[in-house]
């Protein structure tokens, strides 16, 4: 059984960019309802199908499987709810921990989120100086919700 234990943070600076490597992600949702999502994603020349369950704290079930890129592109175009979520994901290592920093594109441009996956909810980790406010429990920052209520609309609300 796959479990994801993840914390999310806003950023408080750009220092993380110094040695960051970025890759473009395109993702869409075949179904996203509270408690479960079915996501299709592409990165480079690989496709993925991911199923996620309901969050309990910062933990939820997650099952991810590689699929052929052509299948992923067809699913994104034909079966996924539109619009797609697009972002550049950077991998940043800090004091023995790997951070994934997502810089969103399109209707979510201007939003950057740092994520860290942990082995336990109470696992300690060093806080990089560029780390800002924690938003782990704020559903507005879930990628599936960014499709429905993109960041560009938040300023108007």
Between CA 8 and CA 6 the distance in angstroms is: 7
Cβ-contact 80, 30 below 8 angstroms: yes
Is 29 marked active-site? Answer: yes
Determine which one of 29, 90, 94, 142 is catalytic.
29
What is the DSSP secondary-structure string of 108-124?
Answer: GTT-EEEEEE-SSTT--
Between CA 78 and CA 3 the distance in angstroms is: 29
| Residue 66: CB atoms within 10 Å | 10
Decide the pairing of beta strands 36-43 and 112-117.
Answer: unpaired
Cβ-contact 3, 52 below 8 angstroms: no
Between CA 118 and CA 98 the distance in angstroms is: 10
Cis check for the bond before 124: say yes or no (omega within 30 of 0).
Answer: no
Report, as residue numbers or ranges, the catalytic residues: 29
């Amino acid at each position: 059984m796959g479990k994801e234990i993840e914390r999310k943070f806003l950023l408080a600076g750009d220092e993380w960019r110094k040695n960051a490597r970025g890759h473009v992600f395109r993702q869409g949702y075949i179904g996203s309802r509270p408690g479960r999502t079915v996501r299709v994603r592409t990165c480079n020349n690989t496709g993925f199908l991911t199923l996620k369950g309901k969050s309990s704290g910062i933990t939820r079930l997650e099952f991810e499987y590689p699929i052929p890129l052509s299948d992923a592109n067809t699913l994104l175009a034909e079966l996924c709810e539109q619009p797609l979520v697009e972002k550049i994901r950077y991998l940043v290592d800090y004091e023995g921990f790997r951070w994934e920093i997502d810089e969103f594109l399109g209707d979510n441009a201007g939003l950057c989120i740092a994520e860290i996956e942990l082995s336990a909810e109470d696992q300690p980790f060093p806080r990089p100086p560029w780390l800002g406010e924690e938003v782990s429990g704020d559903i507005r920052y879930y990628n599936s919700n960014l499709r429905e209520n993109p960041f560009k609309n938040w300023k108007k609300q």
